[in-house]
Structure 1
Amino acid sequence: MTYFDGHNDLLLNLWLNYPDNPGVFFDKIEGHLDFPRIQQAGLIGGLFAIFIPPKSYISEKYPHHAKKLDNPLQVMWEQLAILKELIRLSEGKVKLCTTAAELKQAKRERVFAAVAHIEGADALSLESTALDTFYQAGVRSVGPFWNTSNAYGAGVTGSFPGTPNSGTGLTPAGKQLIAQLVDKKMVIDCSHMNEQTFWEVAQLSHQPLIATHSSVHQLCAQPRNLTDEQLLAIGKSGGVVGINFGNAFIRPDGARNEETDLDILVDHFCYVVNLVGDEHVALGSDFDGVSVPKTLGDVTGLPLLAESLSRRGLSGESLAKITYKNWLRVLERTWGQ
């Protein structure tokens, strides 16, 4: 079985824990992802987040990194440099993909396809040419928000149980950013957007609506999860939602409890399939960014997830769409050939 994943935080893991030796990725490391386990699982590619973590979290757990957050653009460049160093060290086994043609070639040649993604565009507002520079460096996907407000508007905030209708929408600068992303044919990630921001983006963009790592609000009332109306809009646009594997985003009680039955995660996939069809749901694990069901464990649990999906009737072509084809299709439609 083949898999393509919509979101991971491997670069943050390496930046925090192995900043001077990212090549340990090709051995066994702490977390959900390393290259031997990726190959064992059959993962052929995914979106790699460049993410500035909250300073309060870093100050408490990684105090030696806290000062670096005073220059968030530099941190973003350091994380992208880590990804490019992994590609160099891979000796052709990992490729940074910026076009649909490169994704297809990587799959044919059994090369792991890495897509660079910015999660939270706060720092881009600090430099007028930052988006252009990151685009030239190979970034092809941007999530304008990570929960909190920034120069571009409001992300989604609030605790469980809560509504995604948690704030105002885009600022004038935010509307300009969306226009720039559309013009560059970059993915606009709707995960971490509140409802008003989501609907404004839907009006401003003719691209498929994409949420790289969100789950179903009807099944788990986390503000970060998507309502039925949002899921229907994603389907109508030809887009996709990558289901987040995080326990807190899938459990009906919203608990960060690893003793979570895998069927609870499968429920989210089935819900989207039943609501909008199997072309609009995919993997959005959030590996290395959340706690996942213990039975899944890490990336090597993807075959167990596929087996569980198959037992629920999602097999054959439908399963192939969910595990990798939908991501390849929606990236091609967004980027062009």
Structure 2
Amino acid sequence: MKYLFLLLLSTATFAQDIHFKSILVDTHNDCLTACIEKNVSLDSDLTGINHSDLARFKKGGVDYQLFSVWCDGEKAKPYEWAMREMDSLYAAAARNPDKMVIAKSWKEIQKALKEGKLVAQFGVEGGHMIEDDLNKLNTFYERGVRYMTLTHNNSTSWASSHTDEKSPTFARKKGLSDFGKEIVQRMNQLGMIVDVSHVGEATFWDVIKTTTKPIIASHSNAYSICPVSRNLKDEQILAIGKNGGVIHLNFYSAFVDIDFWQKDIAFRKKHAAEIDSMIASGMQTEYVFTVISDKYAEESNAIKPDLEQLMKHFDHIVDLIGVDHVGLGSDFDGINSAPKQLKTVLDYPLFTQALIARGYSDKDISKVLGGNFLRVYKANN
């Protein structure tokens, strides 16, 4: 028993060493929205409030965070909301110039990494936030947006979402319109990465035909492991590999384990009165579920999948297209449930430990943690 304990301790220490020597990039974290909804600041100690805060990014080994800029399709003036979220990060960066930099060029990224500062950029989650205006897309890029998810669960006038494409009442043509293709082309010209998480299959294939640059799925998993429309089918995974892109694993339990769905429905039904009351108060629905899950943590934790279930998605994608095309897109602070071991941004080293247990080299682990995204970033700029 003593020797087993020492072996486990040695493995954990080795994982920490590789983890903190690598550049860790997370392509999707919703803490800007979470901070606004909860009326807290990113640079405060948000332990027990959020999955993330500025200090814990550092402690968890996060070197480069793409902060999601999001609102649902029902919110009025989504462009204004996007600007408010960006303003909140700019304010936090101004208060902490020794800890964080909103980097807009490869040179600025390298400088911040060398100085041990958090590289911060934006990913706009939903093309509805440009309000059908290419000038607003240009402004987003100027402010530090380096990818845009073409749709959220709602479609735009120019791209169909995964939700609408499977709806029998969705009347118009699926996929990208001519204007949608123009948006993809403009993103290629700007150096803004095209993100296909949330898009419908028709939109996905139109993107593959239109883009001249590698794409990402900023927070998606494998459909064959968990068959939900937010995950990618094998043909899509193969196409992203051929494109040179990267699929970033989403930690949300419902996209990790298909059995979670029914358990979560029962959990929400039990607390329906509180959920309805918070929605009526004006809180966005997805954050209501997070608040309820935090309030009833013991119940919520009991239905979560294990980290090994997430690693099945990793293994499947690697089997199809190789280790050069997988990364991390946690969706922390935008989800109410993640695998049991991945409670907050402090737990990223456990993912690294799972890679070591699978026999991956230091070089391959560094690719997965951030190197693959950095390659796509450079190819887009």
CA 1:196 to 1:248, structure 2 compared with 1: closer, same or farther past 3 Å?
same
Q: State whether residues 27 and 34 of structure 1, in contact with CA within 8 Å, keep that contact through their aligned partners in structure 2.
A: yes
Q: State whether residues 145 and 155 of structure 1, in contact with CA within 8 Å, keep that contact through their aligned partners in structure 2.
A: yes
* 1:78 alignment partner, SS class: helix
Q: How does 1:154-173 map to 2 (within 5 A)?
A: 154-157=160-163, 168-173=174-179
Cα deviation digits, residues 277-324 of structure 1 (max 9, x gap): 110000010111112112211111111111112112224211111111
* 1:275 alignment partner, SS class: helix
CA 1:23 to 1:277, structure 2 compared with 1: closer, same or farther past 3 Å?
closer
- Whichever residue aligns with residue 246 of structure 1, its letter is Y
Task: Return the match for 1:125 from 115, 131, 155.
Answer: 131
Percent sequence identity over aligned pairs: 32
Q: State whether residues 158 and 223 of structure 1, in contact with CA within 8 Å, keep that contact through their aligned partners in structure 2.
A: no
State yes or no: 1:92 paired with 2:98: yes
Counterparts of 2:103 and 2:91, CA distance in 1? 15
State yes or no: 1:263 paired with 2:313: no
* 2:104 alignment partner, SS class: coil
State yes or no: 1:41 paired with 2:87: no
Q: State whether residues 218 and 227 of structure 1, in contact with CA within 8 Å, keep that contact through their aligned partners in structure 2.
A: yes
* 2:131 alignment partner, SS class: helix
Q: State whether residues 102 and 121 of structure 2, in contact with CA within 8 Å, keep that contact through their aligned partners in structure 1.
A: yes
Q: State whether residues 161 and 200 of structure 2, in contact with CA within 8 Å, keep that contact through their aligned partners in structure 1.
A: yes
Q: State whether residues 159 and 222 of structure 1, in contact with CA within 8 Å, keep that contact through their aligned partners in structure 2.
A: no
Task: Return the match for 2:30 from 3, 9, 25.
Answer: 9
* 2:26 alignment partner, SS class: strand
The corresponding residue for 1:317 is 363
CA 1:329 to 1:311, structure 2 compared with 1: closer, same or farther past 3 Å?
same
Counterparts of 2:207 and 2:153, CA distance in 1? 16
Calculate the aligned-residue CA RMSD, in Å.
Answer: 2.1
Larger radius of gyration: 2
Counterparts of 1:123 and 1:287, CA distance in 2? 21
Counterparts of 2:224 and 2:150, CA distance in 1? 24
* Ranges of 4+ aligned residues in structure 1 off by more than 6 Å: none
The corresponding residue for 1:278 is 323
Q: How high is the TM-score relative to the length of structure 1? A: 0.88
Q: 1:128 offset after TM fit, Å?
A: 5.0
Counterparts of 1:191 and 1:286, CA distance in 2? 12
Q: State whether residues 51 and 76 of structure 1, in contact with CA within 8 Å, keep that contact through their aligned partners in structure 2.
A: yes
Task: Return the match for 2:41 from 19, 22, 28.
Answer: 22
* 1:53 alignment partner, SS class: coil
* 2:238 alignment partner, SS class: helix
* 2:162 alignment partner, SS class: coil
State yes or no: 1:193 paired with 2:238: no
The corresponding residue for 2:241 is 235
State yes or no: 1:53 paired with 2:60: no
Counterparts of 1:213 and 1:142, CA distance in 2? 12
State yes or no: 1:72 paired with 2:78: yes
Cα deviation digits, residues 69-122 of structure 1 (max 9, x gap): 322221111000011111111123111122222222222211101111111011
Counterparts of 1:216 and 1:254, CA distance in 2? 15
Q: 1:158 offset after TM fit, Å?
A: 7.2
Counterparts of 1:320 and 1:204, CA distance in 2? 30
- Whichever residue aligns with residue 49 of structure 1, its letter is S
Counterparts of 1:269 and 1:249, CA distance in 2? 13
* 1:129 alignment partner, SS class: helix
CA 1:171 to 1:126, structure 2 compared with 1: closer, same or farther past 3 Å?
closer
* 1:136 alignment partner, SS class: helix
Counterparts of 2:195 and 2:239, CA distance in 1? 14
Counterparts of 2:248 and 2:46, CA distance in 1? 27
Q: Which runs of 5+ in 1 are unaligned?
A: 56-68, 161-166
Cα deviation digits, residues 45-89 of structure 1 (max 9, x gap): 12111101354xxxxxxxxxxxxx322221111000011111111
Cα deviation digits, residues 173-215 of structure 1 (max 9, x gap): 2112111111112111011111110110111111112111000
Counterparts of 1:23 and 1:224, CA distance in 2? 28
* 1:87 alignment partner, SS class: helix
The corresponding residue for 1:184 is 190
Q: Which has the higher helix share?
A: 2
The corresponding residue for 1:61 is none
Counterparts of 1:143 and 1:289, CA distance in 2? 15
